[in-house]
Amino acid sequence: MGSMTRRDFCAVAAGAVCSGNVLGLKGDHSPPPESPQRAAVLPSIEFGRTGLSLPRLGFGCGPIGNLADDREAIDILLKAISFGVRFFDTSYTYGDGLSERRVGAAIAESGIARSEFFVATKTGKKDKASALQQLAVSLRRLQMEYVDAWQVHSLTYDPEPLFQLGTVIEAMEVARAEGRIRFIGITSHEAPANMIRAIELYPFDLVLIPLSPIRREYLGEFIPLAKEQRLGVVIMKPFGHGSLFREFTTRQLLQFALSPPGVHIVTPGLDAKWQVDEAFRAVAG
């Protein structure tokens, strides 16, 4: 789809604030002058058919794996945890493993019970054996006996071969039977037609998809179908890699991502404490 005008944005993003500057000047990436009011609380939502209620603000853990300093990265994650963030989406590949290690370290250091968190990771492997090898490494990095969700990473192809014997889906079912994962998910940066086919072929528990004013292809058929199937729908890339801050505020972009019926959680990629502040303000109000 083409780019979205400000008028279009306000029409689609029900509940979004479209009447001026909410979190500083558009395009201003400097830290806000004050920390958010801690009395505010993140809203929660029933997450598809998982039976879980989760805060609507999650944490996309790709950027956190690219920071040079472990302590800085862990402190950013701990700040998000202190604000009530409990959904962390990482991957075997992020930061060559640093993302998973840092997420695990932050959760362990937080002193909060593991059961209070929803940790999702991913594998790009298509065969059973290779996928299970990656899961073992991911669990070791995360310092966890299980992850809440293990996801097929970045579907761009015809999904039908995934559901044959000896493939990653079989690996996921084996891991779930063994208690090493709780839920099975699938992600895609593009190709909504392939994602539609995937959730028609297999009862996934959650999906991770992009949504922003310039990425609206999942609004048409996919999100309504996911809602009908009661899938947990998680949004990534709400900021368009930062390019959208020229026209929209953090609050507008996160509210846009959360506004469609059937969407549950948004996971912006964050790599600074002030970004955690802004995201918290935007979602907690």
Task: Kindly report, residue by residue over 31-63, the tens digit of the pLDDT.
Answer: 444 555 556 899 999 999 999 999 999 999 999
pLDDT of 9 reads 52
Active site residue 94: yes
Q: How far apart are CA 278 and CA 25, in angstroms?
A: 13
- How many Å apart are CA 269 and CA 275, to the nearest integer? 9
Cβ(193)–Cβ(157) below 8 Å: no
Handedness of CA 62, 68, 29, 87 (dihedral sign): positive
Quick one: pLDDT band at residue 285, thresholds 50, 70, 90?
A: confident
According to DSSP, the β-strands at 87-89 and 181-187 are unpaired
Is residue 23 domain-resident?
no
pLDDT > 60? residue 91:
yes
In this structure, what CATH number is given to the domain that contains residue 73? Answer: 3.20.20.100
Distance CA 144, CA 126 (A): 23
pTM of the model: 0.89
Is position 76 within any domain?
A: yes
Tell me the two tokens of residue 143: 């310092």
From residue 88, alpha-carbon distances to 61, 148, 259 in Å are 7, 10, 20
Per the structure, the count of domains in the chain is: 1
What gap in Å lies between CA 124 and CA 229, rounded to an integer? Answer: 25
Widest distance between CA atoms in the chain: 56
In-domain check, residue 4? no
247 occurs within a structural domain: yes
Write down the pLDDT at residue 124.
96
- The pLDDT, as a whole number, for residue 17 is 36
Query: Could you tell me whether strands 53-55 and 44-46 are parallel, antiparallel, or unpaired per DSSP bridges?
Result: antiparallel
pLDDT mean across residues, the chain:
90
Q: What is the spatial distance between Cα 33 and Cα 159, in angstroms, rounded to a whole number?
A: 47
pLDDT at residue 10 tops 70: no
Pick from 20-24, 146-150, 187-191, 196-200: least confident? 20-24
Q: How far apart are the C-alpha atoms of 52 and 54, rounded to whole Å?
A: 6
The answer to whether position 44 is within a domain reads: no
Nearest one of 38, 106, 117 to 270, comparing CA atoms: 106
Question: Considering 92, 94, 157, 218, which one is annotated as catalytic?
Answer: 94
Which residues constitute the domain of residue 101? 51-284
The label of the residue with tokens 């048409």 reads: 220
